[in-house]
């Protein structure tokens, strides 16, 4: 799990999750909110996904968050 701030100073968490058909997602949620967003990862398993998210810079996380889809 990663913590980072968006361009407005809001604190967010990013974590990985298995999705359907073996794909992996990074989930984003703002602290103190019920808003959840998702973005696909290239990783093929949970450990690889954790490494992929850990290697992202805060700027890369903000970019992914900006293009993430709402969880529905």
Tell me how far apart the alpha carbons of residues 4 and 20 are, in angstroms, rounded to a whole number. Answer: 27
pLDDT one-digit tens code per residue, 33-57: 999 999 999 888 999 999 999 999 9
Distance from chain centroid for Cα 40: 8
**For residue 6, what are its two tokens?**
């968006």
Running DSSP on this structure, what letter comes out for residue 36? E
Residue 8 has pLDDT above 90, yes or no: yes
Strand locations in 20-60 (E): 24-30, 36-41
User: What is the pTM for the complete model shown?
Assistant: 0.89
Identify the band that residue 21 occupies on the pLDDT scale cut at 50, 70 and 90.
confident
Are the CB atoms for 18 and 71 separated by under 8 Å? no
Residues 6+ apart with CB under 8 A from 21: none
């Amino acid at each position: 799990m990663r913590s980072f701030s968006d361009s407005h100073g809001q604190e967010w968490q990013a974590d990985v999750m298995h999705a359907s058909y073996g794909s992996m997602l990074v989930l984003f949620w703002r602290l103190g909110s019920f808003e959840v967003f998702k973005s696909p990862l290239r990783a093929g398993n949970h450990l690889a996904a954790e490494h992929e998210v850990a290697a992202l810079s805060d700027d890369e996380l903000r970019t992914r968050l900006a293009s993430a889809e709402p969880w529905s």
